[in-house]
A and B are shown apart, each in its own frame.
Chain A
């Protein structure tokens, strides 16, 4: 069997994670008052946080606002981060997801209609495609459409798993749900994506 088959998603993403030792050293320097350390910490994690926010919100401006809010809060509360409880990325993702949920609620609540009570975001088919996605290939646009068709709960788990590379216990910490619930939602999300992308993967 080829090496590809031997790899689960966990192993494939392991190389993309920032080393925890480097992060711990940066946090120590931040707490000691070194301004430069804050900049380095931001540079190390801002890309991940931005992509997570963009994946959940689908809008670049919203994602930028969430990114700023998340890091402003993280910098202010850095002394409350406990490395024994979670990795810094998990902690930052938790803050980012919370800000995304607030942004989504504020954005859609005034236009809430009865059809929105099925826990799905209201879709506007007439809305122009964001320019970020206009440059994507046909396959990537199909993938985005499939991801956006998921409910917010399933989309959060799918993005944290496929893009964030988190374990299910970490996903549970980010979303404040049990790990088993995260696993169940991941199965549902994967099945929905498989059905939607069957033409792309065959």
Chain B
């Protein structure tokens, strides 16, 4: 390695930009060449001067940095037990399930199984065959002509909440009472 080539590498050597093999060649040459050794020292002196100037000029007054220390973060409270952390989630899930059940009709606030209008709200399951009341009512309402009165049919088929049949119109025979089959809700 000649002196000129080494000189151009001194900056990169001082700045730590040379690969290891190149560094070794520069060092090896500088051991033998005083001119290159002095060039290296001059390059290194720049960094030393900058660092020294910073250390001196930027020296704070004693105790100054401690005096301007920013407020420390507030100490964190210990974490809650798992069951307490999950309590809001559990409560929300339970409320959601209840809302879904009420909304779907599977749950009801009222113990009655029939609506106030008298219309059954659940499926009736008969355990024995029975004569439809509408047919009998129609037969009874047909009168001497044998013609069923369409107006009588609805009255015969509908029972109110207490099981009493509505009064038939005046002059028409009273429908035959039939047992009201009530089954438990599924």
Residues of A participating in the B interface, judged by any CB pair closer than 8 Å: 1, 4-10, 12, 33, 35, 38-39, 42-43, 46-47, 50-51, 54-55, 60, 63-64, 67-69, 71-72, 75-76, 78, 132-133, 136, 139-140, 143-144, 147, 158-159, 161-163, 167-168, 183, 186-187, 190-191, 193-194, 197, 200-202
Are B53 and A9 interface neighbours, CB within 8 A? no
Interface residue? B68 (CB, 8 A): yes
Are A143 and B58 interface neighbours, CB within 8 A? no
How many residue pairs link A and B with beta carbons under 8 A? The number is: 135
| B contact residues around A78 at 8 Å (CB) | 73
Are A54 and B58 interface neighbours, CB within 8 A? yes
Q: How far is the CA of A125 from the CA of B69 in the complex (A)?
A: 33
Are A136 and B49 interface neighbours, CB within 8 A? no
Q: Number of B interface residues, CB 8 Å? A: 43
| A contact residues around B68 at 8 Å (CB) | 64, 67-68
| A contact residues around B52 at 8 Å (CB) | 140, 143
New A-B contacts (6) at CB < 8 Å, excluding given A187-B11, A201-B45: A9-B47, A51-B54, A72-B70, A136-B57, A190-B14, A190-B43
| B contact residues around A194 at 8 Å (CB) | 11, 42-43, 46
Are A200 and B43 interface neighbours, CB within 8 A? no
| B contact residues around A33 at 8 Å (CB) | 75-76
| B contact residues around A76 at 8 Å (CB) | 73
- Taking the closest CB of chain A, its distance from the CB of B14, in whole angstroms, is 6
Interface residue ranges of B72-89 to A (CB < 8 Å):
72-73, 75-76
- Taking the closest CB of chain B, its distance from the CB of A64, in whole angstroms, is 5
Are A47 and B43 interface neighbours, CB within 8 A? no
Residue of B nearest to A191 (CB): B11
Are B50 and A132 interface neighbours, CB within 8 A? no
Interface residue? B152 (CB, 8 A): no
Residues of B participating in the A interface, judged by any CB pair closer than 8 Å: 11-17, 23, 27, 30-31, 37, 40-47, 49-60, 64-66, 68-73, 75-76
Are A51 and B55 interface neighbours, CB within 8 A? yes
Q: How far is the CA of A6 from the CA of B16 in the complex (A)?
A: 11
Which A-B residue pairs are the 3 nearest by beta carbons? A54-B58, A51-B58, A72-B70
Q: A39 and B72 in contact (CB under 8 A), knowing A4-B44, A50-B65?
A: yes
Are A200 and B66 interface neighbours, CB within 8 A? no
| B contact residues around A64 at 8 Å (CB) | 64, 68
| A contact residues around B47 at 8 Å (CB) | 9, 12, 161-162
Q: A35 and B70 in contact (CB under 8 A), knowing A51-B54, A132-B59, A194-B43?
A: no
| B contact residues around A5 at 8 Å (CB) | 27, 30, 37, 40-41, 44
- Taking the closest CB of chain B, its distance from the CB of A122, in whole angstroms, is 21
- Taking the closest CB of chain B, its distance from the CB of A12, in whole angstroms, is 8
